[in-house]
Structure 1
Amino acid sequence: MLAIFKSKPLLEDAQAQQLIHLFGWAVEHFDVDFFLRHTRIVEPTAQDFPDQVNSVEQMAQTVFGRVRDYAGLQHWPIALLPPQQMPMQQTFPNFSLSGGLRGAQVSVSEQPALPIALSYNPNQINQPQDMVASLAGSLAMILIHQVGKLPPGGQEHLPVAADVLAVYMGFGVMLSNSAYHFRGGCGSCYNAYANRQAALSEAETIFVHALVCHFKPQYNGAKHLKPHLKGMYKKACKQLQGILKTSPDPVLLALEDRSRVALSG
């Protein structure tokens, strides 16, 4: 009888399992060693983004540099260009890496004729979390293209997979905080051009962020979330506890073992 008073899980079972499968895909193909040993939960703080800037372009370049380095892509041939300098058409360049996929030890063994051109949204000057999340999503797409492993569900699931991969790279706080924007209030208060186009809902992003933080227990994953997201995060953690206790997923089981070793080392 008391079952009617039990709180509902954050996500439906099918939704949760789809995101867990996408997380497993990220673990399998996007350098789990870097994830376990070097990925940090990037936070909107002066500690993680200490740079002082004087212009939109300088802000974009410094934020990009931080995001690229936290993602472990510091040696990849990627150039951030102002929107007006972006080529009308771009072919993804061919290049080869040595020393792994992500991290300071990686080098480009075969340089492309031109780097991968990436740009930014100048309207996000006053919404830096959106800028961080947007750049992280773009880097996730570049990673997917270079590795050449489509997510479960194929090409049509790429936007969702890129969001999951960006959270896997440590940017879950920023993606969660920028997944939804209230459109009410005065007409001048809302700028649609400044907002990130999220493929995951708030609840879905929070769920993946909680899953990443499960393997990063040294971080408080809820600390820098917007106030209304903290309850969602708590529900996600509770739902994940139940799933992970009984999950037969070999990727998750192996990651649990490797995570314990990495934390003890």
Structure 2
Amino acid sequence: MAFFRAKCPVPPREQAWIEKMLRWSADRFGDLPLRRRVVEPTDTFLSGAYIGAKRDVLRIVGEVREHLGISADRVEVELAADEELPGEIGETALFPVKRSWVAGHYQQREGRGLIRIDPAQTRDRVRLVAVAAHELCHELLLGRGGVPGADGEDHEPLTDLLTVYTGFGVFTANAAFDFRAYNGGAWQTRTLGYLNEAMFGYALACYAWMRGEASAEPAWARRLDANPRGYMKQGVRFLERDVGTTLLSGFEPLATG
């Protein structure tokens, strides 16, 4: 019945932008990212002891970099406290999403990408992966001459979206909002990135559809926190019925056989 018809979990403007820019990502980066495994917060990827020392941080960032196919000579990594990191932390022109702080920063220096990460992000290596994936996706978009069309007003949200397309969406979606106890019972909320949980959830639903695995919940989606997982499920149901009305119409999903 139409009354129970699944709705897209994000408003029309955000829906159209996510669909359009995921297709843009496929045009610019090909379908290899869709064919790679989705990175999950498991010991397979995050192997070895971790105490948050600089060598641990560099190892984790190096693993993310290798998965993204970025050579070591393209980037260097530094640790810098939040107050030392430049950049706006407020709203973007396209999506008025506020962040709690600057967790990392990317810039070009002497022909290489410089990634600076707030040491506060290194205490949790799962969160560190989310920060590293975002900053390294800047390098994919802007490094080595840049990708045409990647430096517009939506560059920051596009960088978040590219983490989904390149397989790190579980990490960045889970890091988008954090609500936890601290200092003996007080509560703190933290946000990270430019896309909210609903936008990440719908982007992951589109990503799964493009991978040809949206007819049932993929195993990797069970690693999502409750909110982004719920939004993704809603997005999957919407696409199952109405993908022909979206900007994904005409895109050929990967074969699953």
TM-score category of the 2 structures, normalised to the smaller one = 0.7 to 0.9
Aligned position for 2:155: 158
SS at match of 2:222: coil
Q: Which runs of 5+ in 2 are unaligned?
A: 87-105
Letter in 2 for 1:32: G
CA contact (8 A) 1:209 1:221 kept: no
Letter in 2 for 1:135: A
Letter in 2 for 1:149: P
Structure 1 range deviating more: 167-176 or 10-19 = 10-19
Instruction: Kindly report the root-mean-square deviation, in angstroms, between the aligned alpha carbons of the 2 structures.
Output: 3.1
Aligned position for 2:54: 57
CA contact (8 A) 2:80 2:117 kept: yes
CA contact (8 A) 1:60 1:120 kept: no
Q: Which runs of 5+ in 1 are unaligned?
A: 95-114
Structure 1 residues 176-215: aligned runs within 5 Å: 176-182=173-179, 197-215=192-210
| In the alignment, structure 1 residue 170 sits paired with structure 2 residue 167 | yes
Q: 1:124 aligns with which of 101, 111, 121?
A: 121
Cα drift, residue 47 of structure 1: 1.3
Distance 1:149 1:180 in 2: 31
Cα drift, residue 210 of structure 1: 1.8
- CA 1:49–1:234: 2 relative to 1, 3 Å: same
Letter in 2 for 1:126: R
Distance 2:188 2:77 in 1: 23
- Which has a greater percent of helix? 1
Q: Deviations over 1:195-215 (max 9, x none)?
A: 563100100011111222223
Aligned position for 1:34: 32
SS at match of 1:119: strand
Q: 2:41 aligns with which of 26, 40, 44?
A: 44
How many pairs were matched up? 230
CA contact (8 A) 2:20 2:247 kept: no
Aligned position for 2:228: 229
- CA 1:120–1:22: 2 relative to 1, 3 Å: same
> Highest CA radius of gyration, 1 or 2?
1
- CA 1:245–1:87: 2 relative to 1, 3 Å: closer
Structure 1 range deviating more: 115-124 or 166-175 = 115-124
Letter in 1 for 2:32: F
Distance 1:90 1:210 in 2: 31
- CA 1:7–1:240: 2 relative to 1, 3 Å: closer
SS at match of 1:253: coil
- CA 1:190–1:116: 2 relative to 1, 3 Å: farther
| In the alignment, structure 1 residue 18 sits paired with structure 2 residue 13 | no
Using the size of structure 1 for normalisation, the TM-score is 0.73
Identity between Structure 1 and Structure 2 (%): 21
Distance 1:73 1:116 in 2: 11
Distance 1:127 1:79 in 2: 21
Cα drift, residue 229 of structure 1: 3.2
Q: Deviations over 1:3-43 (max 9, x none)?
A: 555554312233211110111111111x2142243x22111
Aligned position for 2:99: none
Letter in 2 for 1:166: T
CA contact (8 A) 1:9 1:236 kept: yes
- CA 1:177–1:125: 2 relative to 1, 3 Å: same
Aligned position for 1:111: none
SS at match of 2:114: strand
Q: Deviations over 1:49-70 (max 9, x none)?
A: 1122344212211210111111
Letter in 2 for 1:167: V
Using the size of structure 2 for normalisation, the TM-score is 0.75
Cα drift, residue 231 of structure 1: 2.0
Distance 1:77 1:51 in 2: 25
Distance 1:180 1:87 in 2: 21
Distance 1:189 1:74 in 2: 43
Distance 2:155 2:8 in 1: 26
SS at match of 2:76: strand
Distance 2:132 2:109 in 1: 17
